[in-house]
Amino acid sequence: MKTVYADLHIHIGRTYTGRPVKITGAKTLTLDRILAEASEGKGIGLLGIIDCHSPEVIQEIEHGIDSGKYRELKEGGIRYRNTTLLLGSELEIYDQSCRGPIHVLVFMPALAEMKEFSAWLAERLKNIHLSSQRIYETGLNLQKKTKELGGLFIPAHIFTPHKSLYGKGVTSSLAEVFDTSLIDGVELGLSCDTDMASRLSELDRYTFLTNSDAHSLGKIGREYNQLLLQEANFSEFLLALKGKDGRKVAANYGLNPKLGKYYRTACDTCGSPLEKGDGVCAECGGKTFTKGVSERLEELSDQKKSRAARPPYIHQIPLQFIPGVGPKTLEKLRKAFGTEMAILHQAEEEDLARVVPPKLAAVIHKARTGQIGLEAGGGGTYGRLKP
């Protein structure tokens, strides 16, 4: 087995013709740039691009295969240099069973299945070319179609206040909306880690995933998974989700939940934190607020910890979050150590100090080992580091 780092929630901003896919995604988020950044800059071996249902994205992948730039693997996935692309789609469900919209990720094993899935979606979306569109179909039928095509079904960022399973989608249980046997794993999302999510007993049966939901190149790998696989491909990833034959998720890496945008309940008007039970903001008098993940989990929790054996969740701060690590410094570090995964996992503090000032090397070491102070975020604003 070998270690493969995986980030399985990456958006495409624009196609090769300049057509928008993820409206809020950076224009630099093109297929070629994403794959180059993941492979050569980040060191991500398994990459989930979740806008592959878009017809122009499919065309671009096919052109890359025909030209020899990409290679389709018989075990599933598209190979580019040191990275395998998993063909994914993010969709929004809001059927009669939902209390609010829910985002889910669907992954297909090969291009043929993704093309068939795209054709099926085209009859159920208002705009097949765009990302994260509402599907006019039930969640159960989407699950069934996914399985009919041999795909994977994974609810996305399940605790964020907006457009998520537990945020507003259900009252208390995923069984209100989905067939629990047709879920392959769950994505935790910002402001939640394994200890927090493990307080829900119905999640004991599912593998936890931590992904970046990147809307820019720099955010790729903000959260990621450490997998043990024979090779980076769809079939091996499926085994890892099931924990079979030695394949598994060995660790989850992500921000400390307090650094996420939704950890605490905050006023919608001024962003000030609200204490539990407060109905009016003490700062501005605002009466509407966004409920934090920490408070929502208090409502849902039915156990202190998971009965399932879980890999460690390692609080790790991306290099771009660290004060003093700008583009030039990051380029120096990449030149010295290769990829960001090498900087985060292999470079010792004394090695870093040979490339950047010792004080900055010490801050990087503290940040990647969870020894740095934090101020909690909420209401859509990230938390802050307090070096």
pLDDT at 303: 95
Residues 343-352 have a mean pLDDT of 89
User: How confident is the model at residue 72, as a pLDDT?
Assistant: 98
pTM, 2 dp: 0.92
Helix, strand, or coil (residue 197): helix
Residue 277: is its pLDDT beyond 70? no
The predicted model gives 63-83 an average pLDDT of 97
69 vs 276 pLDDT, higher one: 69
Mean of the per-residue pLDDT values for the chain? Answer: 93
* Measured CA distances, 260 to 2, 195, 285, 330 (Å): 30, 15, 25, 22
pLDDT for res 376: 76
Q: What is the mean pLDDT of residues 129-135?
A: 97
- Map residue 337 onto helix, strand or coil: helix
Model pLDDT, residue 382 = 76
Q: Where does the pLDDT of residue 276 fall: very low under 50, low under 70, confident under 90, or very high at 90 and above?
A: low
Contact in structure between 379 and 290 (CB atoms under 8 Å): yes
Give the SS3 label for residue 282.
coil
The tokens describing 38, both together, are: 């993941």
Q: Which residues make Cβ contacts (< 8 Å) with residue 204, sequence separation at least 6?
A: 198, 306, 307, 308
- Residue range 19-61, pLDDT digits in tens: 999 999 999 999 999 999 999 999 999 999 999 999 999 999 9
Mean pLDDT of 219-243: 97
Residue 307 has pLDDT above 90, yes or no: no
Query: To the nearest whole percent, how much of the chain has pLDDT over 90?
Result: 75
Kindly list the structural domains of the chain, giving each domain's residue range(s) and its CATH number in brackets, ordered by start.
2-255 (3.20.20.140), 318-371 (1.10.150)
pLDDT (average), residues 177-202: 96
Q: Environment class of residue 220 by beta-carbon count within 10 Å: exposed (0-12), middle (13-18) or buried (19+)?
A: buried
Burial class (CB in 10 A: 0-12, 13-18, 19+), 2: exposed
The beta strand positions in 27-101, using DSSP E, are 46-49, 71-72, 78-80, 83-93
Segment 252-275, tens digit of pLDDT: 999 889 888 889 888 888 888 887
pLDDT of amino acid 387: 62
176 confidence band (pLDDT: 50, 70, 90): very high
Query: In this predicted structure, what is the pLDDT of residue 306?
Result: 81
236 with 230: CB under 8 angstroms?
yes
Query: Residues 263-289: what's their mean pLDDT?
Result: 83
Q: Measuring CA to CA, how many Å separate 368 from each of 16, 100, 222, 310?
A: 36, 36, 12, 21
Q: Are 90 and 163 in contact (CB under 8 A)?
A: no
Which burial class, exposed, middle or buried, applies to 365 when counting CB atoms under 10 A from its CB (0-12, 13-18, 19+)? middle
pLDDT tens by residue, 239-253: 999 999 999 999 999
Q: What is the DSSP string of 211-263?
A: ---BSSGGGTTSSEEEEEESSSSHHHHHHHHHT-TT-EEEEEEE--GGGSTTS
